[in-house]
Amino acid sequence: MLRRDLSGATPHGASHRRTVILAAGAAVILAGGAAAGLAAAHSGARPGSLARTHLIASACGGPAGAAYVSDAGWDGFSAIDTATCKVIQTYNVGDRPVPGDPGDQNYDSTNEGVAIHGSTLYFADAGNSTVAVINTKKLNPKNYNPAEKLINVGLFPQSLAVTPNGKQVWSADTGPQTSPASPSRVSVISTASDKVVAKLPLSGTPTAVAFSPSGSTAYVATSQGLWVYSTHTRQVLKVIRGLGEPRSVAVSPDGRTVYVTATDAGAVAVINAATSTVARTIKVGELPWQVVVSADSKTVYVANPDSNSVSVIDAATNKVIDTIKTGKQPTSIDFNGRQGYVTDEGSGTVEILNFPH
């Protein structure tokens, strides 16, 4: 998940102007710059698609760019113009034609992850155990089936991360989750060849991946703790246990701190990156799902689906300084300038939160 240009903490009790977009949001990723492939009219959308979405509130005015939201319940994502907050098209990914009916598609029900580097979008197609590679510059709003390349990975990929230099994509392959011996792993993809170049077995189900700013270290959150890897050797450097079924991991842009959601404990673990030890635990809302860090490393945001809230943490004091009420079951966050996108999976919405200066 990318974090872009969000700086400064929000004063406790400050109001957050909110725009709500109706969408089946599961995960969101933002791309800065011009919204490539989003400018044309969205005629030709899939019948009943999210391109029919309308705004609940008219205020938007975000920075130019695009937000890509994976849509829970089928293999696809919605492209949103962040300058207008309009859903331009909902794209289908990876689904094969239904046998005997080439005009129809088999829309598998999944829970997908998305990642982006430059103009290349990576989509974890969990239903087909593949990762789709899509050039966002070539997205055509009149065609909801984009050109794509599918890479076979492990079973049920549900989270992706790209190394800072864009040379590797790590896919958290959750496996069927039927027993401790489930075939979960991390698949390492070379972006030069679009092929899996390494398979890293794990004894715990992987849920998220993040990299240090230099890209030399990878952090993989699993059901058994946080696995710390050397991206050069792909060897495990350390396993940090006792984190309470972590679901998400984020590294501060200054590289000093790693944040992990201790989900079943309702807390965030603050880890010293230099020593790979837990320095502090911060209580947040119920079932904290995803954690992200502002671009200046000063503020941490945590989505709490069972509390219908986002916790705002001051990184200097490691204290919660604000709690933002959201829609039902917020699970994913990303930022573009001072505008934050939050997916409320329980209500099928994307909320756009405008943080005060």
Is it the case that residue 342 has pLDDT exceeding 60?
yes
d(CA 298, CA 316): 7
Q: Tell whether 292 is covered by a domain.
A: no
Is it the case that residue 11 has pLDDT exceeding 90?
no
Is it the case that residue 143 has pLDDT exceeding 80?
yes
Task: Name the pLDDT band for 63 (thresholds 50, 70, 90).
Answer: low
Encode burial over 157-167: b for 16+ CB neighbours within 10 A, e otherwise: bbbbbbbeeee
DSSP state of 62: P
Is it the case that residue 98 has pLDDT exceeding 70?
no
Q: Tell whether 3 is covered by a domain.
A: no
At position 85, the amino acid (one-letter code) is C
170: containing domain: 17-250+331-354
Place of tokens 């789709």: 132
d(CA 26, CA 348): 8
Give residues with Cβ within 8 angstroms of 223, minimum separation 6: 204, 205, 207, 245, 246
Question: What CATH number did the domain enclosing 217 receive?
Answer: 2.40.128.630
Q: Tell the burial category of 256 from Cβ atoms under 10 Å away from its Cβ (0-12, 13-18, 19+).
A: middle
Q: Tell whether 313 is covered by a domain.
A: no
What local confidence, expressed as pLDDT, does residue 209 receive? 96
Give residues with Cβ within 8 angstroms of 303, minimum separation 6: 288, 289, 290, 291, 310, 326, 330, 331, 332, 333, 342
What are the pLDDT digits (tens) for 261-307?
Answer: 999 899 999 999 999 999 999 999 999 999 999 888 999 999 999 99
What local confidence, expressed as pLDDT, does residue 89 receive? 85
Higher pLDDT, 18 or 30: 30
Which percentage of the chain shows pLDDT scores above 70? Answer: 74
Q: Are 69 and 77 in contact (CB under 8 A)?
A: yes
Is it the case that residue 22 has pLDDT exceeding 60?
no
Place of tokens 């590294």: 251
DSSP strand pairing (101-105 vs 114-117): unpaired
Q: Tell the burial category of 132 from Cβ atoms under 10 Å away from its Cβ (0-12, 13-18, 19+).
A: buried
Is it the case that residue 26 has pLDDT exceeding 70?
no
Q: Tell the burial category of 106 from Cβ atoms under 10 Å away from its Cβ (0-12, 13-18, 19+).
A: middle
Q: What's the average model confidence in pLDDT over 154-163?
A: 92
At position 190, the amino acid (one-letter code) is S
Q: What's the average model confidence in pLDDT over 171-200?
A: 87
Place of tokens 């001051």: 314
Q: Tell whether 280 is covered by a domain.
A: no
117: nearest Cα among 164, 150, 153? 164
Q: Tell whether 266 is covered by a domain.
A: no
What is the SS3 assignment for 318? coil
Q: Tell whether 265 is covered by a domain.
A: no
Q: Tell whether 273 is covered by a domain.
A: no
What local confidence, expressed as pLDDT, does residue 273 receive? 97
What is the SS3 assignment for 94? coil
Looking at the 3D structure of the chain, how many domains does it have?
1
What local confidence, expressed as pLDDT, does residue 226 receive? 96
Q: Tell whether 244 is covered by a domain.
A: yes
161: nearest Cα among 128, 127, 188? 188
Show the tokens assigned to 208. Answer: 């998220």
What are the pLDDT digits (tens) for 302-339?
Answer: 999 999 999 999 999 999 999 988 888 888 888 776 67
What local confidence, expressed as pLDDT, does residue 58 receive? 41
Q: What's the average model confidence in pLDDT over 153-162?
A: 92
Neighbour count for residue 245 (Cβ, 10 Å): 18
